[in-house]
Amino acid sequence: MSGQQQITPDLRRWIDAQMAEGFSHEQILAAMVSSGWQALVAAQALEQARSAKLGLPDLPLRPAGQGLPTIDLSSGAPSLWLGDRWVHVLMSLGHPRVVLLGGLLSEEECDAMVAAAKARLARSETVAANPVGSEVNAARTSDGMFFERGESELIQRVEARLARLMNWPVDHGEGLQVLRYRPGAEYLPHYDYFDPAMPGSDAILERGGQRVATLVMYLNTPAAGGATIFPDVKLDVLPLKGNAVFFSYERPDPSTLTLHGGAPVQEGEKWVATKWLREGVFV
């Protein structure tokens, strides 16, 4: 199969049937690519099918390497309509590019995500320094887990909303990671992009290219502490249930001023869900 490929009604019906059978996003994508479909076209067809299931408009295909994930604030309006929910713009910073959002998730969605994650929590690890395995991350004293992209109706709905918020396809993002921070737990300042000079970075970048943006969503409100901190610009974002902070980085370099961390939780617990966005299709 070559040339300009079209997403036909027959293809959409086939995808709907595979979804009804319970096959995952990754399994359907792999089957399409093995049959000759271009990866980006196959990914767009999948996202259109999932959006249609949720009653949301299609998100246009954005080829890899074109621009950055962006929250469009050009209208100057204090709230954004994302197809299924109004989200409030609370703060916008130009450099680093940081946008604070209010009410991105509902109370019910936050609670449901926490409940779904609890049974799957494990000591937080990192694979960035060890692409053939994993190791405990001493900089992050939390428990965490990953949701597979599209693994449930809740995750599909949230991912579709985030895609429209940041104008970036769902398949260009990693699965949502949920972290729980207990009292005293923290995440020391760090960058989210992958250092190209780091051993093993080539293998990491083959899975979807460089990370280009981060969205941190707060699933609860700690009694005290737990702010997301940006030391280079002296910015602290206090965690409030349902709110989120977005920041992007156009290159893997400290000049982006995206050094950030999680301040220690002083009282109670902090639950967050993080979405990392890649340059291309993440597999």
Domain co-membership, 104 together with 31 = no
H/E run at residue 88: strand 86-93
- H-run or E-run covering 159: helix 153-166
Same domain, 135 and 179: yes
Confirm whether 60 is domain-assigned.
no
Determine how β-strand 270-278 pairs with β-strand 86-93.
Answer: unpaired
Measure Cα distances from 178 to 45, 56, 116, 154 in Å: 27, 25, 10, 14
pTM over the 0.95 mark: no
B/e letters for 238-261, b = 16+ CB within 10 Å, e = fewer, are: ebebbbbbbbbbeebeeebbbbbb
CB 274 within 8 Å of CB 238: no
Task: Tell me: do 158 and 35 sit in the same domain.
Answer: no
Q: Is 32 a member of any domain?
A: yes
Q: What is residue 78's predicted lDDT score, i.e. its pLDDT? A: 96
Q: How many domains does the chain have?
A: 2
What is the rounded distance in angstroms from the CA atom of residue 262 to the CA atom of residue 188?
A: 6
Amino acid at site 164: R
Asked whether residue 195 falls in the same domain as residue 267, the answer is yes
Does 247 lie in the same domain as 113? Answer: yes
Residue 91 lies in a domain: yes
What is the span of the domain harbouring residue 225? 79-278
Two structure tokens written together for 47: 């996202």
- Cα 131 from Cα 150, distance rounded (Å): 24
Q: What is the CATH number of the domain that holds 217?
A: 2.60.120.620
Spatial distance between the Cα atoms of 172 and 279, rounded to a whole number of angstroms: 7
Which of the 8 DSSP states describes residue 244?
E
Q: Which of 86, 116, 92 is nearest to 104 (CA)?
A: 86
The answer on 151 and 49 residing in a single domain is no
One domain for residues 140 and 223: yes
Residues 24, 124, single domain; the answer is: no
122 and 239 co-located in one domain: yes
Residue 224 lies in a domain: yes
- Residue 35 covered by a domain: yes
69 part of a folded domain: no
pLDDT per residue as tens, the chain (283 positions): 545 688 888 898 898 898 888 887 668 877 887 888 876 677 778 777 766 776 655 544 444 445 899 999 999 999 999 999 999 999 999 999 999 999 999 999 999 999 999 999 986 554 343 333 333 355 567 899 999 999 999 999 999 999 999 999 999 999 999 999 999 999 999 999 999 989 999 999 999 999 999 999 999 999 999 999 999 999 999 999 999 999 999 999 999 999 999 999 999 999 999 999 999 999 8
Place of tokens 């293998």: 203
DSSP state of 140: B
| Torsion angle in degrees (nearest 10) through CA of 269, 136, 172, 276 | 40
The whole-angstrom separation of Cα 170 and Cα 190 is: 25
- Of 254, 221, 236, 224, nearest to 114 (Cα)? 221
Q: What is the CB neighbour count within 10 angstroms for residue 276?
A: 19
Structural domain contains residue 73:
no
